[in-house]
Structure 1
Amino acid sequence: MTASSLPQVRRIAINTGGGDAPGLNAVIRAATLAALHEGWEVLGIRRGYMGLLEGDVDGEPGVFPLTANAVRGITHLGGTILGTTTRGNPFGLEVRQPDGTWGRVDRSDEIVQRCRELEIDALIAIGGDGSLNIAHALYQKGLPVIGVPKTIDNDLRATDVTFGFQTAVEVATDAIGRLHSTAEAHQRVMVVQLMGRHTGWIALQSGLAGGADVILIPEIPYHLDRIVEKVRERDRSRRRFSIIVVAEGARSADGEASFADASGRYGGIADRLAAEIGAATGKETRSLVLGHIQRGGEPIAYDRSLALRFGAAAVRCIREGSLGTMVALQGNDIRAVPLGDAVHDLKRVPPDSELVTTARQLGVSFGD
C-alpha cells in the first residue's frame, strides 16, 4: 500500500506480544506521542490480541485510549503497560472443548473484523519472531500492520539489534562477574544458564564480557570431554575454579537440547551439565539459572533510545503509507523492511564470526 492509496489516518492501535523485554514501554510512549502529534487517536490493546477478543482483561477494558497522560513517565519502566502473553496466537488459540479437553481454534478473522469495527487504520505490533509472524499473517488477511522488533535474543535477521538485548547482556554480565569471587573462594565450577532457545547471542556476548572460561551456544554443538578438559587445564594452572556459561538451547554433539517439560519449554541444561562435570572431575559443581531476571527491570540507556526511535519510526511508516513492514536498525539508520522478509529466518551466531574468534583467542572453550 502506497502513501497515495492510504486512506486518511484517524486512529491507530498498539499491542505487545510474546515475552516481555526491557524497552517495551519506551516504544509505546514514543509511538503514542508521535501519533498524537500527527493528530491521530491511539488505542492500546491489552495482552496481545486478547483485548480485542475479550470484553475485558483482568477487570480492565480490553481496548482503551492511550493519551499523553497514560504514557507519561514510562520510558524507564520494565515490562509493558499493555500486558502481554505467549499463549495468545489468534490463529491457534487454546480453548476448552465441550468435553472438557483443550483444543485450538482460529480466531484471526475476528481480530480483523474487530479492528474494522473499532475503525483502526493501522496496528503497531511490537514483538519477536513469533509475534511478528502473527502480525504478518494478519497483514495478509487485510489488517494494516507495522512491526517493531522486540526480543532479548537479538535473533531477527533484518535488524542489526533488537531493543532489550543489550539490557539482558548487561544483567547477565553482572551476574557472571559476581560469580567469579564465590567460585574462586570455594574452588567450584559454576554453570550459568542464560536465555537463548535457538541462538546464543546473549550467552556469547555476556560470557565474553564476563570472563567465562567455557561458552556453550546452540550454533556450536559441544562435547562433554572438551569441557572437562578445560576445567582440568585450569586446575593444572592453579586456577581451581571455572565459569561455564550455557544458552538454554545448547546441545551436545550427540544429543538434543534439554527440555524442562512435555510442552517443549527449554530448560534444565545447567543442572544436567553440572552433574556431568562434577562426576567427571570430582569438583564441586553448582548450577544457576538466571531465567526471567534477564527480561525484568529497567532498560539501559541504549535500549531506551533504540526503543524510542523504533516507536517514532513506526508512526512515520504509517504516515508514509509503508504498511506491512517492520522498522529495523541497519547501521546507524532506522529503515522499513518488508515484514515477510523480516520473519523469514532467524539470525544465528556464525561459528566463524569475529566474536567467536575473539573468544577463542582469549582461551575460551566452546566445547567443540
Structure 2
Amino acid sequence: MSTLVEQLIQSEAHKSIFESAVRQLPLPVCAAFGSSSSPQPVAFSDTGRVLSTKDSEGVRAQFPQSVAASGNAVLASAGASGAKVQGKRVAVLFSGGPAAGGHNVVCGLKRVLGPGNTLFGVKAGPKGLLKGSLFEITDANVDFILNTGGFDFLGSDRTKIKSAEQFAQVRETCIRHNLDAIVVVGGDDSNTNAAVLAESLFTGVKADGSGVQVIGVPKTIDGDLQVGDLLSISFGFDTATRIYSEMVGNILQDTSSSLKYWHFVKLMGRSASHVALEVA
C-alpha cells in the first residue's frame, strides 16, 4: 500500500493546476535579449567605465589574468550578435541557498544557446562539479521547469573550491566533458568561487592551450549583492520579500482579534537585513 501511495505521489509531483498554469506563461527576459520565445545572443561594447574598489590592487594580485583580460571594464549591450555560435558546451550549476528564478536562468541559457550547442546541468552544486556529475539538459526539461520553483531541478550545496586537489578535479571535469564555459548561479560566496575558478581555468585546459570561461549570475534573497547603479538587486529578493510581507500582513490582521498575544517575526538576513527592511 505504501509503495502504491509513493508511486502516486511521484506521478503527480509538480503537476498541480498552479504549476501547469505558470508553465504556460512566457519566459521573462531582458529587452536586450529579444523575445521570450526565442531570446537571442547579444554583442557587448566597452562603456569606458572601470570598476574599482578600495582593495583593487589586492584583487589584481589575486586575479592577475582575469583583471588583465577584462580591465575591470563595464560592458553594455550593443544589440543582437550577428555571429552564429555552434558546437559550444556549457555547464550550469546552482550554488548556495535556493532563490526563485533559478530555473528560469537555466531555461534562458538553453533557449539562447539553441540547438547547435549543448547545455549541461551539474547535480548538487559545486560538489557535483568536483565529481563530474553532469547531464545534458533537454528541451523537455526546460518546458517542465519553466517559471517554477527554486533550485530543485539541479540541487545545490555550499562547497568552497579552494584546494589544489579541488582545482584539479574541476579541470578534469572540464576536460572530460570538453566544456567551453561554466555558469555559476549563486550569491556572494558563490560568485567568489566563480572568480577563483575563472582565474584557475583561464588557460591550459583545452588542447590548444585555451581555458574555460566562468560566468557568475548574481542570486541571493538577502539583497546584499549590489553594485551601485549597475546591479540594484539580485534575483530572488523581490519574490522572497513579497511572500514574507504577505505572511507578516496576515499575522498583523490576526492581532486585532487576539489582543492578548504578542507576535515576534524573525526573518533571515546577513550582516544587514535588507529582507527585514523591505518586508517592513
Do both share a fold (TM > 0.5)? yes
Secondary structure in 1 matching 2:92: strand
- Maintained 8 Å contact 1:23/1:75: no
Give the C-alpha shift of residue 40 in structure 1: 1.1
- Taking the aligned partners of 1:176 and 1:167, their CA distance within structure 2 comes to 14
- 1:36–1:42 CA contact under 8 A, matched in 2: no
Distance 2:200 2:87 in 1: 19
What letter matches 2:196 in structure 1? Answer: A
For the residues of structure 1 that align with 2:224 and 2:165, how far apart are their CA atoms?
27
Alignment partner, residue 203 of structure 1:
276
The percentage of aligned residue pairs carrying the same residue is: 30
Deviation at 1:9, TM superposition (A): 5.6
2:146 is matched with which residue?
Answer: 75
Q: Give, in angstroms, the shift of residue 54 of structure 1.
A: 2.8
User: Could you list the per-position Cα deviations for residues 134-173 of structure 1 after superposition, in whole angstroms to 9, with x for gaps in the alignment?
Assistant: 0100001024111111110111122111111111111111
Separation in 1, partners of 2:114, 2:141: 12
CA contact (8 A) 1:112 1:138 kept: no
User: For 2:140, what is the secondary structure of its paired residue?
Assistant: coil
Give the drift of 1:114.
Answer: 1.6
1:151 is aligned to 220
Equivalent residue number for residue 51 of structure 1: 128
Between 7-16 and 67-76, the greater mean CA deviation after superposition: 7-16
**Which 10-residue stretch deviates more, 110-119 or 126-135?**
110-119
Alignment TM-score, normalising by the size of structure 1: 0.47
Residue 8 (structure 1) shift: 7.3
Q: How far, CA to CA, are the matches of 2:269 and 2:128 in structure 1?
A: 29
- Larger radius of gyration, structure 1 or 2? 1
RMSD: 2.2
State which of 167, 179, 190 in structure 1 corresponds to 2:263. Answer: 190
Segments of structure 2 that go 5 or more residues without pairing to the other structure are 1-68, 71-80, 202-211
C-alpha distance in 1 between matches for 2:130 and 2:216: 20
Greater RCO, 1 or 2 (C-alpha within 8 Å, sep 6+): 1
Q: Counterparts of 2:186 and 2:87 in 1: how far apart (Å)?
A: 23
Matching residue within 121, 127, 130 for 2:180: 121
Contact 2:269 2:276 in 1 (8 A): yes
Unaligned runs of 5+ in 1: 56-61, 93-104, 208-368
Q: Which amino acid aligns with 2:178?
A: E
TM-score (norm 2): 0.61
**Aligned residue number for residue 11 of structure 1:** 89
Mapped contact 2:131–2:173 kept (Cα < 8 A): no
1:33 maps to 111
Counterpart-to-counterpart distance in 1, 2:166 and 2:101? 29
